[in-house]
């Protein structure tokens, strides 16, 4: 396999008695894009960590450009040309440094410029890198002050500075708008032309259709399918991932009868047309739109994180105007935020502590936490939502990304909600886990209004009774789930003359 950029043969890895990799074989050719698919817990992350030097494999071999490759650590892998951009954005940037220093960090660390660094030269070179990526941010802006999408693009740009032979991208578009994703795809095309071998991990069919030359599927720690014949068989790839055929989702629309959440002339942004909307008891309404459409802004207003410029909100006919998140939670309005790594997961806590954090009174006896009561309630929820773990005492960091997401959703299902707000609840979640979460949300919807804020059309189709399209801070379209006109839905999202978004049902 001397013509391979990277060849992985018989790779094995166990954690205690848990066999995570069971003899994995993967070959990445120079100038190609291989998409890696797999359900949460299939072993994708462990495979990537073994390739990039984070884990040492227990067995098997790897070669890089025909030479033995067994990186001692992540730095060793990077020095030899294997670079990974992880799904957790802040793994690829230093939030407290500005943009220029982030982009040039490796050069600063390896001392290429000697003891003294010329600030003007550093920023000029950083600006050149940013321009190649299509980044227009101020080089002096601290990265922690930037939105998630810009931080993601900076992490990818920083990887480019290292001139990789093998580039691993883990869910790189999860926080990007359609325009930013298109910019990333253009970059991938350039890297492919330069001979870089790219391993692209994604669950998004719109991504896979755009970039994949080959699909490799993992299930239960082994390769369950390789698809490289044109046209690529996406349905067969999903079947290989799940172990069964992917059936059409059957949503029986519930219209509800009792108005639960009412928005009247609600203005969420300066200059935007006001929003008037009613969500009924038991109804699941999905809000879709491109990044910046106002979805997250509306979620923030409903949850007390922000305040509207005007208009009235009512819950069960009573005026609702929360001044804080605490006040919203007190009125049983719960928000599960997007970007769980930054806004939701407490890394040092176990599953039980993470799940019960907002509702400690319900699992306490007087001023003291009752671990017996806490573990009983969280254990029941682990079963109901289908969280894969050994015990509720397991550290949250031991779970796959999809199972962490299930814990975050389960947190807000522990107590009855009047209004449940779910902002990108399927971020980084595979199709199987996504449907587990969606089924449970729908099964428990009676007695509340459920609002789900999504970027992907297929996710909305799988969960919603009604799909509401937002653009420029207002509602521009409404679609009933059992009578969807996909062309009209996409036109509402992009605008009648909008660009191709890559959004697919």
Each residue's pLDDT tens digit, 427-448: 767 777 777 888 889 989 999 9
Q: Could you tell me if 474 and 222 are in contact, meaning their C-beta atoms sit under 8 angstroms apart?
A: no
Work out the average pLDDT over 327-356: 84
Work out the average pLDDT over 326-350: 84
In angstroms, rounded to a whole number, what is the distance separating the alpha carbons of residues 234 and 249? 17
For residue 247, pLDDT beyond 50: no
Work out the average pLDDT over 312-333: 94
pLDDT score, position 500: 39
DSSP 8-state class, residue 424: S
Tokens of 391: 């015990």
In angstroms, rounded to a whole number, what is the distance separating the alpha carbons of residues 43 and 201? 12
Q: Is the dihedral of CA 177, 180, 184, 185 positive or negative?
A: positive
| β-bridge partners, 129 | none
- Going by pLDDT thresholds of 50, 70 and 90, the confidence category of residue 23 is very high
Tokens of 155: 């992490």
More confident site: 284 or 493: 284
Alpha helical stretches, state H, 412-450: 431-443
Greatest extent of the chain over all pairs of C-alpha atoms, in Å: 71
Taking only the tens place, the pLDDT of each residue in 112-170 is 555 455 678 878 888 888 887 777 888 889 988 887 777 877 888 887 777 789 999 98
Q: Give the strand pairing for 197-201 and 166-170.
A: parallel
For residue 176, pLDDT beyond 90: no
Q: What is the mean pLDDT of the chain?
A: 84
pLDDT score, position 115: 46
Work out the average pLDDT over 253-258: 74
Q: Which of 20-29, 102-111, 179-188 has the lowest mean pLDDT?
A: 102-111
Q: What percent of the chain has pLDDT over 70?
A: 89
Residues 6+ apart with CB under 8 A from 462: 249, 251, 434, 435, 438
Taking only the tens place, the pLDDT of each residue in 233-242 is 887 887 888 7
Write down the domain spans for the chain: 6-242, 250-332+416-505, 342-415
For residue 375, pLDDT beyond 80: yes
pLDDT score, position 12: 94
In angstroms, rounded to a whole number, what is the distance separating the alpha carbons of residues 211 and 185? 7
> C-alpha 94: how far from its chain's center?
20
Element (H, E) at 450: strand 449-454
Q: Give the strands of the sheet with 18-28, arranged side by side.
A: 18-28, 6-15, 59-64, 67-68
Q: Which of 61-65, 138-142, 219-223, 425-429 has the lowest mean pLDDT?
A: 425-429
pLDDT score, position 494: 64
Distance between first and last Cα of the chain = 38
For residue 91, pLDDT beyond 70: no
What b-and-e string marks burial along 264-295, b requiring 16 or more CB atoms within 10 Å of the CB? eebbbeeebebbebebbbbbbbbbbbbbbbbb
Q: Domain 250-332+416-505 class?
A: alpha beta
For residue 251, pLDDT beyond 70: no
Assess whether the region 6-242 and the region 250-332+416-505 belong to the same CATH fold: yes
Q: Domain 6-242 class?
A: alpha beta
More confident site: 238 or 92: 238
pLDDT score, position 308: 95
Element (H, E) at 328: helix 325-330
For residue 504, pLDDT beyond 50: no
- Going by pLDDT thresholds of 50, 70 and 90, the confidence category of residue 48 is very high
pLDDT score, position 398: 82
Work out the average pLDDT over 333-358: 82
Considering only CA atoms, which of 54, 80, 84 is closest in space to residue 69?
Answer: 80
In angstroms, rounded to a whole number, what is the distance separating the alpha carbons of residues 377 and 254? 29
For residue 321, pLDDT beyond 70: yes
């Amino acid at each position: 396999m001397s013509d391979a950029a990277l060849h992985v043969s018989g790779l094995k890895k166990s954690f205690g008695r848990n066999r995570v990799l069971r003899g994995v074989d993967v070959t990445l050719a120079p100038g190609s894009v291989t998409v890696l698919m797999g359900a949460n817990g299939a072993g994708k992350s462990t495979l990537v960590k073994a390739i990039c030097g984070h884990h040492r494999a227990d067995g098997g071999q790897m070669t890089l450009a025909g030479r033995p490759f067994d990186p001692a650590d992540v730095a060793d892998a990077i020095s030899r040309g294997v670079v990974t951009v992880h799904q957790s954005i802040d793994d690829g940037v230093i939030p407290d440094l500005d943009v220029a220093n982030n982009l040039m960090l490796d050069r600063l660390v390896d001392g290429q410029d000697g003891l003294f660094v010329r600030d003007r030269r550093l920023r000029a070179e950083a600006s050149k890198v940013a321009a190649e990526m299509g980044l227009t941010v101020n080089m002096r802006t601290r990265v922690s002050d930037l939105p998630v999408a810009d931080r993601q693009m900076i992490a990818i740009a920083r990887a480019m500075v290292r001139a990789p032979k093998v580039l691993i991208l883990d869910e790189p578009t999860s926080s990007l708008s359609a325009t930013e994703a298109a910019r990333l795809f253009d970059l991938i095309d350039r890297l492919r032309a330069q001979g870089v071998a790219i391993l692209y991990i994604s669950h998004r069919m719109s991504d896979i259709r755009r970039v994949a030359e080959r699909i490799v599927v993992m299930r239960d720690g082994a390769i369950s399918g390789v698809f490289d014949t044109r046209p690529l068989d996406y349905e067969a790839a999903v079947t290989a991932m799940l172990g069964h055929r992917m059936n059409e989702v059957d949503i029986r629309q519930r219209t509800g009868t009792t108005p639960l959440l009412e928005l009247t002339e609600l203005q969420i942004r300066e200059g935007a047309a006001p929003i008037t909307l009613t969500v009924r008891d038991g109804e699941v309404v999905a809000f879709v739109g491109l990044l910046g459409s106002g979805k997250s802004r509306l979620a923030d207003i409903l949850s007390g994180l922000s305040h509207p410029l005007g208009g009235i909100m009512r819950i069960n006919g009573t005026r609702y105007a929360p001044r804080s998140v605490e006040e919203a939670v007190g009125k049983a309005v719960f928000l599960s935020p997007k970007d769980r790594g930054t806004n939701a997961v407490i890394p040092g806590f176990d599953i039980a502590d993470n799940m019960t954090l907002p509702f400690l009174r319900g699992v306490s006896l007087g001023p003291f936490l009752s671990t017996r009561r806490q573990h009983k309630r969280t254990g029941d929820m682990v079963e109901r939502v289908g969280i894969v773990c050994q015990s509720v005492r397991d550290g949250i960091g031991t779970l796959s990304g999809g199972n962490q997401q299930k814990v975050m959703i389960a947190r807000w299902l522990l107590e009855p909600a009047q209004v449940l707000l779910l902002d990108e609840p399927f971020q980084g979640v595979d199709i199987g886990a996504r449907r587990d979460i969606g089924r449970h949300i729908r099964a428990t919807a009676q007695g509340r209004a459920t609002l789900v804020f999504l970027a992907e059309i297929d996710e909305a189709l799988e969960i919603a009774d009604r799909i509401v399209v937002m653009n420029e801070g207002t509602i521009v379209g409404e679609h009933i789930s059992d009578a969807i006109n996909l062309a009209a839905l996409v036109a509402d999202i992009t605008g009648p003359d909008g660009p191709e978004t890559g959004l697919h049902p």
